[in-house]
């Protein structure tokens, strides 16, 4: 789940170790002082941490995609295809567009909508916000399993993140009929950089989906049908 950091009043504090906001408030978060018995109980607090973590993880996503031939979703235009159906999702290869104007056309994924989070909170987690692990969620798409594996390797070597859980839906043991044929590798992680610690967001668990492009198309089609 999403535990909170212990918080102590500042008497003599090291300004360099904390964000200016907490310094001004007279409080600081102690990096690494996790209290598993003191979990996040506020929905608003959870979303505040998610917003910070989602901004911080973006640079890491770009770096991982650059090193593993990864793609990001392209922003959709206002038009539609023949028959009035929604425009199908397309992807941009980050290593090819990162230094050009097309980099601005990447559709970064927003935080999970409040309504959907509340539904999940009530139906699955008995109103325990600390169980919600996909409010800050992102995806990287690949052409081959080899590229996906390379990205996972880069993530595991990245000192600025801490991997919490890997759900391998690419495994032959996974029953894909449960997801309409869709498969991916779902990684839950925390941002462990000095910046995330200074902002008090180091305990928030994010989700990164690593997808093969053909399965991403299946997911897109299913979404359009719903």
pLDDT above 70 covers a percentage of the chain that reads: 76
- 24 or 185, which is more confident: 185
Measure the CA–CA gap between 54 and 219, rounded to whole angstroms.
Answer: 22
pLDDT interval class at 40 (50, 70, 90): confident
- On the question of pLDDT at 94 being above 80, the answer is yes
Q: Give the model's pLDDT for residue 28.
A: 56
3-state secondary structure 80-143: CCCCCCCCCCCEEEHHHHCCCHHHHHECCCCCCCHHHHHHHHHHHCCCCHHHCCCCCEEEEEEC
Quick one: angle between helices 114-124 and 43-67, nearest 10?
110
Convert the pLDDT of each residue in 44-93 to its tens digit: 888 999 999 999 999 999 999 999 999 999 998 764 444 444 567 899 99
Rounded to 5 degrees, what are φ and ψ at 93? -80, 115
Q: Tell me the whole-structure pTM to 2 decimals.
A: 0.78
Q: Which residues of 101-121 are buried (b: 16+ CB within 10 A; e: fewer)?
A: eeeeebeeeeebeeeebeeeb
Q: Give the model's pLDDT for residue 168.
A: 94
């Amino acid at each position: 789940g999403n535990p909170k950091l212990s918080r102590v009043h500042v008497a003599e504090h090291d300004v360099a170790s904390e964000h200016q906001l907490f310094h001004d408030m007279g409080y600081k978060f102690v990096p690494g002082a996790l209290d598993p018995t003191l979990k996040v109980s506020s929905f608003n607090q959870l979303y505040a941490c998610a917003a910070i973590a989602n901004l911080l993880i973006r640079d890491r996503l770009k770096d991982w995609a650059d090193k593993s031939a990864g793609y990001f979703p392209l922003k959709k235009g206002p038009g539609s295809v023949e028959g009035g159906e929604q425009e199908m999702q397309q992807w941009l290869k980050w290593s090819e567009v990162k230094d050009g104007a097309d980099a601005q056309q990447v559709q970064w994924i927003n935080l999970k909508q409040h309504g959907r989070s509340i539904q999940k909170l009530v139906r699955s987690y008995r109103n325990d916000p600390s169980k919600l692990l996909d409010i800050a969620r992102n995806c990287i798409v690949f052409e081959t399993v080899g590229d996906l594996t390379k990205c996972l390797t880069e993530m595991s070597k990245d000192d600025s993140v801490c991997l919490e859980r890997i759900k391998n839906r690419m495994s032959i043991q996974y029953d894909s009929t449960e997801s309409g044929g869709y498969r991916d590798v779902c990684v839950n992680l925390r941002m462990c950089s000095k910046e995330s610690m200074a902002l008090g967001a180091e305990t928030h668990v994010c989700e990164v989906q690593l997808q093969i492009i053909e399965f991403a198309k299946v997911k897109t089609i299913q979404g359009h049908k719903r």
